[in-house]
Chain A
Amino acid sequence: DAGVTQSPTHLIKTRGQQVTLRCSPKSGHDTVSWYQQALGQGPQFIFQYYEEEERQRGNFPDRFSGHQFPNYSSELNVNALLLGDSALYLCASTLGTTSYNSPLHFGNGTRLTVT
């Protein structure tokens, strides 16, 4: 049973560029959330997708956007990259949006470096 898979594992971009990160949720999960983890910090919630709609959003600018596809996979897009966007981006999946009986499962993340 495949868990949460993220691609690519590493990425190097230049300031001002745009980037797309991809996530496939664990089998049976329908909800995907994205987190940003800066070096030495805890993860910060970016947004959550359920039924192909953004359901909740953290304190991130509009440069961060996402999408969820009918097969529940998801993309995170970041426009106009800044040096401060360098971080590990984690995708987490679960079943539904309200019950904690189905815990979050995290992928191994995409390490984004902006130069």
Chain B
Amino acid sequence: AQSVTQLGSHVSVSEGALVLLRCNYSSSVPPYLFWYVQYPNQGLQLLLKYTTGATLVKGINGFEAEFKKSETSFHLTKPSAHMSDAAEYFCAVSSTGRRALTFGSGTRLQVQP
């Protein structure tokens, strides 16, 4: 069985501040990990993914995440928030090769001017 916990359903930061969105996973086998972003009335867009190899993963729009096996975490960060980053962010895990993703409940990021 696999699961994802996203700590904090809402996160508010100031424009230019560090963004940190937390994700912890549970998986009985080495996981595949993903971060997706969802803008209002839209589908999900892949930000970044960890499959194998380097544990620090860089994605689009300046986001990155680090896979920490010992902490079962895959937190998403961005050094400097932009107003356009305001959206819902979802962490997801898959422990199989068949692509069924288990999503967390999401974190809504608000960026204050």
The 4 lowest CB-CB distance pairs between A and B, nearest first, are A42-B103, A106-B43, A98-B97, A106-B44
Q: Is the CB of A43 within 8 A of B32?
A: no
B98 to chain A, nearest CB (A): 5
Determine whether the beta carbon of A42 is less than 8 Å from that of B106: yes
Question: Residues of A with Cβ closer than 8 Å to B?
Answer: 4, 31, 33, 35, 40-45, 48, 55-56, 58, 90, 92, 94, 97-101, 103-109
The total of chain B residues at the interface (CB under 8 A) is: 25
Q: Can you list 17 pairs linking A and B with CB atoms under 8 Å apart? A: A40-B106, A42-B4, A42-B90, A42-B106, A43-B44, A44-B103, A48-B98, A56-B98, A100-B32, A100-B51, A101-B51, A103-B34, A103-B49, A106-B36, A106-B44, A108-B41, A108-B42
Cβ–Cβ contact A43 & B100, under 8 A = no
B93-113: contact bitstring with A at CB < 8 Å (1 yes, 0 no)? 010011111111110000000
B61 CB–A CB distance under 8 Å: no
Residue in B43, B49, B97 whose CB lies within 8 Å of A108: B43
B99 touches A33 (CB 8 A): yes
Within 8 A of A (CB), among B1-52: 4, 32, 34, 36, 41-46, 49, 51
Q: Are B46 and A103 in contact (CB under 8 A)?
A: yes
- State how many angstroms separate the Cβ of A100 from the closest Cβ of chain B: 5
Q: Tell me which residues from 67 to 113 in chain B have a Cβ below 8 Å from any Cβ of chain A.
A: 90, 92, 94, 97-106
